[in-house]
Amino acid sequence: MSTPDIRDLNRRAVDYSVEIVSHLTTDHLDRPTPCAAWTVADLLAHMTVQHRGFAAAARGNGADLTVWQVRPLAAYPVGDYTKAAADVTAAYTQPDVLERIFDLPEFGPGAQLPGSMAIGAHFIDYVIHAWDMARALDLPYRLDDDFVVPALEITKMVPTGDDYRNAPGAAFAPELPATEDAAPLDRILTFLGRSPSWPR
């Protein structure tokens, strides 16, 4: 199964994450985040390398484990993040990228996805991580109206089993309860193990 072409939505989600990260200073690096046990520095390092890993995968080099290895933050981490974000969105502009097979060892040994699905996974990752960073930096966060349907659809494709959600280094925590009338963003967050009222 493949997802529709959401490259433009993905680019906007990534650009919005850049806007949020642009507010970061060195004084923020030790702050906690909604990602359990991760500081702002840890989250930013993860976000940066994931862009580079997905860019490499789009170009046929995702099986190289070194492109996914988290590195210490650069001397100017905001600028480094901005470059990584620009690199991944540029990689997704290749005309056949939706049909390419992405090697994604981050998802497990030998994991592969069609480009359309891989970009969908990248999209939801940055919808969530932009929210994580905004919460950690005490910034407002918006979910654009046209993000709602694809974000909810992709979210529901994320595995929910204990062997996935409770595994060491799992991308998302176990699902939290949500009310039937919860806002779309809150439904996405709780399904992926985030408390919309974090840090409470």
Residue 116 lies in a domain: yes
Using 50, 70 and 90 to split pLDDT, how confident is the model at 158? confident
Per-residue pLDDT reduced to its tens digit, 92-132 = 999 999 999 999 998 889 999 999 999 999 999 999 999 99
Portion of the chain with pLDDT greater than 70, in percent: 94
Residue 49 lies in a domain: yes
Tokens found for residue 111: 């994991």
Domain that holds residue 83: 7-191
94: number of Cβ within 10 Å: 13
pTM: 0.92
> Is the pLDDT at 2 greater than 50, yes or no?
no
Q: What is the DSSP string of 149-170?
A: HHHHHHHTTS--SHHHHTSTT-
Per-residue pLDDT reduced to its tens digit, 119-128 = 999 999 999 9
Residue 111 lies in a domain: yes
Residue 199 lies in a domain: no
Residue 198 lies in a domain: no
Contact 136, 31 (CB under 8 A): yes
Residue 1 lies in a domain: no
- How many domains is the chain built from? 1
Residue 147 lies in a domain: yes
- For residue 129, give the CATH number of its domain: 1.20.120.450
Predicted local distance difference test score (pLDDT) of residue 170: 63
Closest CA to 81 of 130, 31, 114, 120: 130
Residue 2 lies in a domain: no
